[in-house]
Amino acid sequence: MRHLTTNDTPAPTIRGIADHSWQQRGQCQSLPTKDIDELFFHTRRDRVAISEAKAICSSCPVKKACFDYALDNQIRHGMWGGLTEDERRRWHTRVNKRLDYSRVKAAFEGRDVHLSNAEREAVTRHAYVRGWSPERLAYALRLDLDWARDLMRNAAHAVADRDRYWAQGDEAGAADDEDVEDDDAQGAASPVQVPRQVQTPALIAALRKAA
């Protein structure tokens, strides 16, 4: 399964689940409640309201935080972050495949942040490799202890399968090398060899990061 990754970009400002302070700085906060309802929770075909709402959002200093809030809380109705519900639909369908290592890092630092399924899995695997107890994982991710135990058990199987895969790859590569040496010794014509991926320090570090 492919995941969205953002670990190669500067870490964004990640807000905790209970942090709603950004809302007070929104451009829409000065509007009457009636106008907010009409502009930002408009009917799907109300082009005038959509245009006016987008104009307000275009210069809003917390537009990104507004967009993230709608995604993290699965708010599909209304305009958030300058995007209508139709424009946000594709983001909502992909959010559980998001793998943002800045969020994973924030979770390890004790921040109460929204995690996608892929991010929660990354946290759990890394916690298992670090030797965390299920109790510590449950506390860090605000989970039920039984759920944390299940996640740790799944992480153990996943890490074991990963290590077994790499071990088999090494054995297969060694066998290929022996076959090539035998062919050369007998003077046989060698086929074009496909180079085997070398476990460089960079690759090992990437695997540890993914674990």
Q: Give, for 66, the enclosing helix (H) or strand (E).
A: helix 63-72
Whole-number Å distance between alpha carbons of 204 and 211 = 11
The pTM assigned to this predicted structure is 0.54
Residue type, 128: Y
Query: What tokens does 62 get?
Result: 């917390």
Buried b (16+ CB within 10 A) or exposed e, 50-84: bebbeebbeebebbebbbbbbbeeeeeebbbbbbb
Q: Which residues contact 64 (CB under 8 A, 6 or more apart)?
A: 12, 81
**pLDDT tens for residues 81-108?**
999 999 999 888 888 888 888 888 888 8
**pLDDT tens for residues 128-153?**
988 999 999 998 888 899 999 999 99
On the question of pLDDT at 164 being above 50, the answer is yes
Domain residue extents for the chain: 4-98, 116-181+199-210
Higher pLDDT, 41 or 18: 41
Do strands 4-5 and 98-99 pair parallel, antiparallel, or not at all (unpaired)?
parallel
Query: What tokens does 199 get?
Result: 């476990």
Whole-number Å distance between alpha carbons of 198 and 175 = 15
Output DSSP code: residue 83.
Answer: B
Query: What tokens does 198 get?
Result: 């070398």
Whole-number Å distance between alpha carbons of 82 and 80 = 5
